[in-house]
Amino acid sequence: MTAAPDDAALPWLAGPAHDIATKQRGHALLVQGNPGAGVFELALRVARTWLCETDGADAPCGRCTACHLLASNSHPDFRALLPELTQVELGWSVGGAEAADAGDGEGKAKKKPSKEIRIEAVRDAISWTQKSSSRGRAKVLLLFPADAMNLVASNALLKTLEEPPQGVRLLLVAEDAERLLPTLRSRCQRLLFAGPTPAQALAWLEGQGVVNAPVLLAAAGGHPLAARRLAADGFDAAAWIALPKRIADGKWEPPAGATVPRLREVLQKLCHDAMAVAAGAAPRYFPATSLPPPAAWPKLADWSQSLARLARHDEHPFNAPLITDSLLAEAKAVWTKPRGRAA
């Protein structure tokens, strides 16, 4: 069984987690923040603080029985609902909740991990909240990302959110709270997690032994956990720096196995930075010196809209090589001067 992620190792979580755990009295909290900045680990730390059995603890003590049970993911009064895909990404295994899927795998081809928090898991968790607490402190149900619940699952949770059983606290975690049903949002107390400062993020990343940490951190939008994942996936800093000009020149080839959503993300980062520079601001994802010369604003605006449209559909199956070619041609065209006209 996989141990829970070590939230104590993310030093920027202690302050916000302490504030939430000790000052927020609501039974249903909606914590909004970026997963790459540690918003899930933050919520986990809040849950651990609530369930810690050391008297007067305003942070998880790490020594009591409850803390040990939480660290091994086996506390009977804690449950996390995560889509299968998120569990895989986090290297996290959830006791109990995903058991609903256990029966249908036999003899069939392996299914792709689900991106949804399933209705069965939500119903199961709701009936779990109705039983009394095993260790007599509280019960905590964490949902991450909460927008992975579809309409049916969200609706099933409404009543529990409105009137949770005695001692039950719900932690909904989402990157973008606007993607939740308004009826869910309105029943929660909303909190915003800003993440680490750039200096904290960089110091932590360097402490993890990540080389080219500033380039990785920028490529990951300033989110240190996302940057560490890039490093683990073999991120090539030199190739990243060379990428903008190669794309503008039409000379870039996506790495083997690159998916359309992944390519679209990279192009959106480049588009973002090209627009920032065109507007006189600093780029976010690429070093300023790595960017091609400023492009015409109307072309950038069209490109940005086109990528945003694709983002709404890129889970759909389509002809990936065809889309890849057209995406790269579109990107190159942004920097191609019209023929026969003065620039």
User: Which chain residues interact with Zn ion by CB under 5 A?
Assistant: 52, 54, 61, 64, 67
Q: How far is the CB of 53 from Zn ion (least distance, A)?
A: 6
Alpha carbon separation from 151 to 25, 179, 180, 181 (Å, rounded): 27, 11, 9, 8
67 SS3 class: helix
Torsion 257-259-262-263 (CA) sign: positive
Instruction: Rank residues 57 and 148 by Cβ distance to Zn ion and give the closer one.
Output: 57
Q: Within 10 A of 78 (CB to CB), how many other CB atoms are there?
A: 23
Q: How far is the CB of 76 from Zn ion (least distance, A)?
A: 15
CA distance 33 to 67: 25
Instruction: Rank residues 57 and 243 by Cβ distance to Zn ion and give the closer one.
Output: 57
164 DSSP 8-state letter: P
For residue 107, give both structure tokens.
């003899």
Q: What is the 3-state secondary structure (H, E, C) of 165-194?
A: CCCEEEEEEECCHHHCCHHHHCCCEEEECC
Instruction: Rank residues 48 and 185 by Cβ distance to Zn ion and give the closer one.
Output: 48
Q: How far is the CB of 68 from Zn ion (least distance, A)?
A: 8
Instruction: Rank residues 67 and 157 by Cβ distance to Zn ion and give the closer one.
Output: 67
Q: How far is the CB of 52 from Zn ion (least distance, A)?
A: 3
The structure tokens 């400023």 sit at 294
Instruction: Rank residues 52 and 117 by Cβ distance to Zn ion and give the closer one.
Output: 52
For residue 294, give both structure tokens.
């400023």
Q: How far is the CB of 189 from Zn ion (least distance, A)?
A: 25
Q: Within 10 A of 136 (CB to CB), how many other CB atoms are there?
A: 9
Question: Left, alpha or beta for 222 (phi > 0: left; psi -120 to 50: alpha)?
Answer: left
Instruction: Rank residues 67 and 226 by Cβ distance to Zn ion and give the closer one.
Output: 67
294 SS3 class: coil
Q: How far is the CB of 13 from Zn ion (least distance, A)?
A: 16
CA distance 343 to 338: 8
Q: How far is the CB of 36 from Zn ion (least distance, A)?
A: 28
Supply the DSSP string of 7-54, one letter for each residue. Answer: GGG-GGGHHHHHHHHHH---SEEEEE--GGGTHHHHHHHHHHHHH--S
Instruction: Rank residues 54 and 133 by Cβ distance to Zn ion and give the closer one.
Output: 54
Instruction: Rank residues 64 and 241 by Cβ distance to Zn ion and give the closer one.
Output: 64
Q: How far is the CB of 78 from Zn ion (least distance, A)?
A: 12
